[in-house]
Each structure stands twice: as C-alpha cells, then as structure tokens.
Structure 1
Amino acid sequence: MSSLPVTTKHRINRIPQIPHVWEGDIFPIGEMLDNLEPELKSNGQCIVWVDGSEGFIRTMDVVKGNTGPEAMVRALLKAIEKPQSPAEPARPHKVVVRDRELQFFLRGALQGLDIDVDYQGDLPLLDELWNNLQQVQPQKVGNIPPQLLEKLEERAIALMWEQAPWTLLAEYNLIEIKINAYNVESLYACVMGMMGQEFGVIFYRSLDSMKKFRLMAGEIGDSTMEEGDIERAFLQQDCWFVNFSLDDSDFDEEDEEQQLWYELFLAEAQYDVPVQVVFGSIHPYEGIRPLVDVEELDPLYLGIEALGKFVQKNKKRLEKDPTQNISHQYSIKLPWGNNKPHPVKVRTMPEVTAELEAIEGNLHDDFAEEEDTDIISSDLFPEDCVISFASFPEDIIKSIEAKPSVWVDMEGIEFENENDKIPVIIIQTTRPKGKLVVEQLIKEEGIEYLFFTSGEDPFYGGTFDLPMIKTQGGINHVIAEIEQEGETFANTVKKWSQKTKKWQGKCGVAIAMGSTGVNRGSPKEQHILAFFATELVSKEKAGLDKLVLNIEMM
C-alpha cells in the first residue's frame, strides 16, 4: 500500500493535534443535491468528515461511485488542512468509520500521522447531519507567497518552455534527478509535448508509481474501460508537474495576430508566445491539486533547474540519441532561504526506457489483435509534419543503411546502374515523434503501399488531398490533410508519380527529423530516421476513393 508523500506528512504533522474524534462515511447522493450534473446525481457518492466533539462538518466531497477508498484519504487531508468554516486546521486524535475494510485501509494510509483509526457500526451524528445537508461549501487551497511562485515560474519558462525538451525527448525517455535533500531522494522526469498537444514536464516522486501509471495508461485504449477507471489510473500517479498552456485571458478569435500566436504554440515554435505556467501535484491520497506548501518548492525548483542545465549542456547528444548513458552533476542554489548550494546529479535511464518501450509494445500488440483489420487511422503522423518529394540514388541508400540507428527496408528495390534514383516521399517531423512513427511502422511490419486520395469535412466544409499509406498490418494511415487550394500539391504529386513508372510503381517512404530547425521542408541525409520500400497504387486499388473526415477515420 502506498503511503502519503513525505511533503504531506511533514505538512500534516506540523498542524496541532486536538483531542477530538472525527467521524467519516460515504453516502449515496440520491435526490438530495439537485445542483449536480446528471451523471453524479445518479451514480455519485458524498464523502463527509465530521468533528464529533464539536458537531460540525469539516469537509464534504462529491465523487463518482467507483472512485475508490483513496478518495476518503483525500477528503480527510482536506478536513485537516483546509476545513470548512468555522473550523480551523487541526489533526484529530482519532477517526471513526463504520466499514471494516475502510478502517484497515486508513490505518495503512495514515501511518506516521499519529491518528488512531477505529470502527463503529452506528454513527447517528453523521446520519442526522446528512439528512439535513443542503449544499457543499467551496474549498480554498494554497498558502505559498506569490513572489516565490513567480521565481519558480520564471525559471520554468527560461529552462523548460524556451528550451523545449519535448523536441528532443519522448515521454518514455526518463531522466533521474538525484537530490538527496528535503526528504526527496530522487525525482524522475519525463516530458509532455511530443504529439504537439500538451507541453510540460512531470517529476515523479516514485519510479514504481511512474511504471504503474504507464502500464495502466496503456490499457486505457480498451473499449471496456469506464470513465471512472481512467480517472483512477490518472490519480494513481505520485508526482509534481509543470504544464504550459496558451495565455488566453485576453484571447480574441477574430484577432489574426493572436491566432498566429496560437498556431505557433501548437506548432512547438519557441517564439514570444504568451504562456501560462501551472504547477501542481498528483497523489492517490491527495488527488490533483496546486502546490500548497513552501516545502514543495525546494525540491521542485532543484528538479527544474537541474533538468534545464542538463538539457542545455547535452542538447546535441540528446538529439542524436537520448537513450545513451549521459550523466552530470551540478551545484544549484535556491533563490530563497540560506542559498546553500545543493549537489544534484542528473542522468539518463536507458534501461528504464527499454523497459517502458517493451511494456508499450506488448500492449499495442495485444490491442492490435483485438482490432478489426483494414481500419483507417489519423493518429500515427503528427499534424505538423512536413511532406517533401525527392529521389534517392543508391549511394544515399547505402549510406543511411550503414548507420545502426536507421531502419532501412529495401525489399524489392534493385538499382540497375549508378544513375538510377528511386522516387521517395519524405515525411519530416521532430526526432521523438519520428522515432515513434518508425517504431509503429516496424510493429505493423512495414508499408504495403502508398496512395493519394481526397477527403471532405462535413462540419466545417472544405476538401483535402490525403496522402496515405497502408501497412502490412492492414491499417490505412493518413499522413496529412492538405487543403485543396490551387493545383500546387496535385501537380507535384503528378510529376513525382511519373518517376515511379520507370520503377514499375516501386518507391520509398522516408521518415526524417528536423522539422523545427532550419532544415524544415528540406531534410538532409543525416536527418533520415528510416526508409521503407513500398509501391504507389491508385486510390481505386486501395479501395478508398474518397473519405469523410472525422466520421470514417478512427
């Protein structure tokens, strides 16, 4: 059974203990709270903690019916730290519940807090209060001085947002930050943002928690999972997080300049885009919350500073191969307190990366076995990828084939003379995203054929050219949605397609990195991550003459 995080124990133990007995229970909501959304009203529960000595409610939480016993702990922590008025922060001498399993669970979860947990079959005070309950009072959290959060935000923007580690690392490229201070031995950092949807860094306080969550998250694709299961998996994490989001407080959809900011933000471009920084914590017994204690700032600041210095020093090495062993030690001073320097060691964890890749690979294989064949997917290739049309001579193929880190599939392609060039479509993205694409294409046993079709959006209007591939695994992947404005793309495809006739339709698909650098749209040989031999077929042969976007694609 996981325990409360060290920061929480420290925080709670500082709160004075009172010789009071608190009673806690879970009630079905039924018809008593009419202001709730229909799902909670029909399948919700209400957790109540009452000070039996004083006779008033300290906290009340409304949760989904299958949230789990951890919700009782989260509610109790609120009752201790941020109780409803007129109660003051206090720690009880004893808590009483009328469920044996819950009693044993709380005993394990509350170890080290000097709180006895007892069982009592009948709690009449709770029943009476519940029968008269009419509304939930809002809670307030957070007691950190704003100037300290401003310093933390300033460093997060400078070292995380401006350096964009998510363009170098995938979310399974774990970085250990060994602190050995402030009751934290190590933090395990991973990035968010490689799919261009959400940007940030997660600092796991427990390696086991990270592995457990990744395993549970991999199972979320199962259609039998309910919303409560997904929420429970998310709340099983034990981490601090730093999220970056567009500052839309003054956002005007009609303002073209602000629209450009938004597009740059989604495209991972590191321009002067106004962003908001959100700091928070997730724990099974605390839920998701903002930072509420000054003691949390110290290890989080050290983690941000150390990771930022590590990325800055090793950018080229990480871009080349983030799975290699890299280790550095830094001396970091906090901008508050006594400014004593802290030695912090940072290292990559290739062994854990390999373990996570193996876990995800098994989950994808299991999921693929359950899926129907010949499906259409628009999820493999990132929305911001760039398509180029080229021709490769044999020496380029041999050159990239000699690199152990590049996957090359040349089946069915033979060069008859030194002047021959095989037609190639190059799909360029960032290195982490490109590696994910290559891994998935390898799992699907390569590319069976390439084709070009069209699609229309029934909701917003407009038609699109759709370059697509079908893998040997029977999945049709949309590479990009290109708006049909003029004949530029169609003419380029036509000219390029003529070159495949000499090769009896054979061609190649190359995955390349470098889409955020100066070589965007014109990748070089050193940017190639993989080459797949395939053939160009008509959309009629592919059986996908025209698609209706957002309806037929999955």
Structure 2
Amino acid sequence: MTTLNRSTRRRLKQLNQIPSVWEGDRRPLSSSDESDSEGKGECIVWVDGSQGVVRGIDMVRPESGPEAIVRTLLRAMEYPQGPVKPARPQKIVVCDREIQFFLRGVLQDMGIAIDYVPTLPLIDELFREFQENASTQPPQLPPQYAERLMKAAYNFWDTAAWDFLEEHQIVAIELNRWDIGTLYASVMGMSGMEYGILFYRSLDSLKRFRASVLQEEESLDKLEDAFLAQDCLFVTFDLPGEAEEDEDINLADLPASEIEPNFGNIHPLEGLRSSLFEEEALVVLIALEALNRFLRASHRQLASEMFPNLNSRYRIPIPEDSDTTQMASVKVTTLPEVSKELFEMIELEDEEDEQLLSRKAMPTLRDDLVPENSFLSIGMVSWETVEHLRTTLGDDLLADKIETAGDGLPVILIQTSRPKAKTLIEKIQAGGGVKGIFFNPGEDPFNDSSYDLGIIQTNNGEMYLFGEFMDDDPVHQEARKKWDRRCKKTKGYCGVLIARGLMGASRGNPQLQDMMALFEARSLSHQDLGLGTLQRMLQIDWE
C-alpha cells in the first residue's frame, strides 16, 4: 500500500490539530441521463462537522484508486477551501469500510482517529443539494421544440454550407418576431476547425467581434474576452459526448449520424450558455429552417466565385404550442457589401502581419541544451511521484495551480549521465526555468523530409530543440496523441523530468533515486508562437 513519505508526515504533524470531527466520502454524481454518469465521474468531499464547512472537494474518474481521497484530504488540511485555516482534525468518520482501512494505513502515527459510521449527515445533505440543483437545470432545448430543432440542425449539416460559404460571407435573416428584427448568419467550417453557424442579433456585434479577433489573435485572454462580448445564438457540431476525440478526424467527412448538434447563446452580460429558452429556441428554429430552404434553392449561385446579391422570402410554420400565429414570413438576403467590408478587414490585417514579419528576425532555435546521446522519451509520471519530487527536490512552483487530473503529469524525460544532468539543470535554472513545451513542424528541403520538432522554451525566451521526430514514425505519432490527450486533461500543464542513469537497467525507466529535477511548465501551441514550418539550414541548424 502507498504510504506518506517522512517529510510529508513531518509537515502534516506541524499543523495545528483542532478538536473537530471531519466527514469524508466519494460518491458518483447522479444524473438525469444515465448514459452521462460515467462522464460526470465521482465527487470526493471532506467536511468539517464542527464548523460546518467544506474543506476540500474534487472530481475524479470512477476508476481512480483510493489514493484520490487521500489527496483531497491532504489539501483539505493544508490548503482548505473557505474561510478556515490549515489544520488536521482530531477525528475522521467515513461510511465505507474500505476507505476506513485504507486511511488507517496511510495516516498511522498521525494522531487522527478514523472511525466508521453508517451515515454521514452533512455529506448526505450536501449531495441532496447537488442532486436538487442538477434536477432544476433547464434542458438544452425546450422539449416541445427539441425534435424539430434537431431535425433542422441535421438538415443544415447535410447542406455542408461551409463548402461554399466563408465566415465573412454574411446572410441576413429578417424575422420581425420575438423582439428580433434581423439575424446575421455567419457559417463556420471552411477552415476545417469548427463547424456550425452563428446568428448575430446585430451587425455591429458581428463587426466588433471580427475586428477584435484580428487585433488580438496573439492574446488568448483578450480573445476570450472578445468571444464572450458577442451577442448571438449559435448551433455547433461535434462528436457525441461519449466519443473519443481523434485529431486526425475531420468532422466534415462524417455522416450526420456520427455528429451531434449543440445549441446555445452568447451575450456580453450573460456570457456563454449551452441551452436555449423557449423564445430563443423558436428564433433559431425558424431562422434555421428558412436558411436551409435558401441554401438548397441558391446553392449554385452561392458557390460561384463572386458572392451574389440574392434574396428570397419563405413562409415557415410555427409550432402550434408557441402561442403565436401559425406561419412566419421570413426574408433571407445575402449581404455582399458587408461581406466585402469584412474581407477587406482580413486582407488589411494580413498585409500588416506580413510587414511585421518582414521586420522581425526569426528567433534562433538552439540545440545546445540536451546533451548528446541522451535518452529522450515522451511520457508521464504518476501524481504520487510528482508529489514526492516536489517534496524532495523543492520544485513546486506550479503545485498550487495544477489539478491532478488523469493518470499523471505528462513529461518529457531527458536521461543522461549524472554530471551532464547537473549541467543541464543549471542551464535551465539560469534561463529562469521552463516556460513551455511544444512541438513545431519542420522540414529538410535537401532530402524532402518532414519532422515534428520537440522544443523547450525557457522563461528568458530562449528556445531549445530537444528532439527531431519523423512525421511518419508510428511510434512517435502514438506518443504525440497520448501527450496531447494527457495535456488536455491537466489543462495544459506538463513538465521536463531530468534523470541520471543513462546506462544499465534504469535506462528509459529511471527510479525515484535517479530523478534529479522536475521542471513544471505549460504545453504550448506552435500556432500561438507563430514560428511556421522551420527549415534545416545547411544540414546543421534549425532556424
């Protein structure tokens, strides 16, 4: 059984022990949709019964081991939620015998009594509240309109409008109902990234968002602000919730039966909401059905080289239980002038970007960080190992930010001899530590080869090549997929693990005593850094 290391025990014993009884348990969050219960996972809660406060709460995967409940307990002691101070309890009560026995083994000699009780009143009440709150959440779509909305969305998918409409080619849908005058539709998907349609409530909101995206494309925080400042209704398409994501899949290649529509609303004061209320659902339904008719009727003209000036009027039946007249007269019109204005904004920004790039020297990619003949691996280390290294090595700068999601922390392992490892660690420390890790496309024009370049960026801005991987290497492709999935689970956190023991049995499998440093960092996107495809120069340096 896994036990606490001695330094952690000493640290916990230094906490003030308070005369209180804590309740602890892990339970699945119930869901009205049984098929979604696995996706929701289990909730671990630690409650101080004397003060009536939740000291720690975590969501974990159902298959997570009993160590998860200990991790939440330790955080409840050292970094409690709410207005309470760090402390350790005098007594812990649980309603699960297995948890009781496990905690007794882990917390022995800590001066904490661990008892079994059949019920936990505070946690029972807490989960009842969770359940009540979940049951009061509105459905994504009003039930009376859901079937027809889904059908309209799938019909839109079948039109594949992104094959002939770009995002800046705007179509106006005049409703004059439900406090909506005209919606301005922008189709997403020609770039092959996100598929769907945005119905802006005003032309001003659409233009402001486009301008903001072009101006702030290098700042993720500002992009998020611009995204939430939109005033629109939306329909997007994705894989079903239970389907495993695969970066190699282009959704546009899938039939309607394999994708799932999602509906929602964005407003500067409301933010993002993944559901529609009744009037919103009616607006989207009528607009979507009118647009579908327009796309079917005008497909050939819209697919022409020039965005044409077209308009049509349709009578769309309104659902009988909407308390309105039975037919809606909807006018659909293309807006070539608006589309031209938006396209000119893009062209102007592209010209400015090209001028800026021509003034900037490409950053140098150095290859003098990783010692020659080092063993390199793209993998992960368990959270228990991470905690041990933080305690023994003191590398815990990001410990309060990283959520222990997934099986462990994704890491780049660099294993070399002890002297070279020490030099490597000193060089990274001199650069202020590791800022990020990313993979960038590279090519060798001399032999027509393409690569996936592994790059480490230190906090002083230097970029170092740690590995060149052939694009068509199936082993590397699988390792990259696992790396991306793991980084997604940790919300972008990863690390560089430096170990000794290049020769012998520990090669490629360093033990705890071989691990000399762990630098925690962020997984970066090569698109954000804007390096483009790097080329090998004179068969020596990548620049």
Instruction: Give the TM-score taking structure 2 as reference length.
Output: 0.43
Tell me: higher relative CO, structure 1 or 2? Use CA pairs within 8 A at least 6 residues apart: 1
Instruction: Give the TM-score taking structure 1 as reference length.
Output: 0.42
